[in-house]
């Protein structure tokens, strides 16, 4: 009969066995949805990737800016002159110029707080 008591005690402890990891908190990434100017929704999740793994083309968003041909030509000439001094692409030039202007307009502290809160776009698979 001692064996039966042992099994009975084991069955009574099923709640403990089933919930053995209840003290471990599983942090679910908090995604948020934003509505773009053209009324489509984009889902964002907090960044968990290293700088090496993160890519603007895979986890980022695009902007489209219409330009007159002469404006684009001016940008291309400026980038070609900068390319002589170092490795600069049109994308990097435009991004760095816009972000520098944003930092100047909104202030260094607010800019750093915005940029430090990193998110990635969740792409539909």
Q: What is the DSSP string of 52-119?
A: TT--HHHHS--------HHHHHHHHHHHHHHHHHS---HHHHHHHHHHHHHHHHH-HHHHHHHHHS-E
* Enclosing domain of residue 31: 2-121
- Residue 121 gets the label, from left (phi > 0), alpha (psi -120 to 50) or beta, of beta
Specify the higher pLDDT residue, 29 or 85.
85
Q: Mean pLDDT over all residues of the chain?
A: 83
pLDDT on residue 112: 94
Instruction: Report whether 31 contacts 45 (CB < 8 A).
Output: yes
* Number of Cβ atoms within 10 Å of the Cβ of 83: 13
pLDDT on residue 98: 94
Checking if the pLDDT of 69 tops 70, the result is yes
14, two tokens: 């099923």
User: Which of 11-15, 18-22, 55-59, 67-71 has the weakest average pLDDT?
Assistant: 18-22
The number of domains in the chain is 1
Please compute the mean of the pLDDT values over residues 87-113 and round it to a whole number: 93
Burial of 120 (0-12, 13-18, 19+ CB in 10 A): buried
């Amino acid at each position: 009969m001692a064996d039966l008591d042992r099994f009975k005690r084991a069955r009574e402890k099923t709640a403990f066995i089933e919930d053995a990891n209840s003290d471990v908190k599983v942090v679910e990434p908090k995604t948020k949805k934003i509505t773009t100017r053209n009324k489509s929704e984009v889902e964002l999740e907090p960044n968990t990737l290293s700088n090496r793994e993160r890519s603007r083309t895979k986890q980022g968003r695009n902007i489209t800016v219409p330009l007159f041909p002469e404006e684009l030509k001016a940008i291309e000439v400026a980038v070609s002159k900068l390319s002589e001094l170092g490795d600069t692409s049109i994308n990097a030039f435009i991004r760095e110029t816009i972000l520098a202007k944003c930092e100047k307009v909104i202030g260094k502290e607010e800019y750093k707080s915005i940029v430090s809160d990193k998110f990635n776009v969740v792409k539909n698979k």
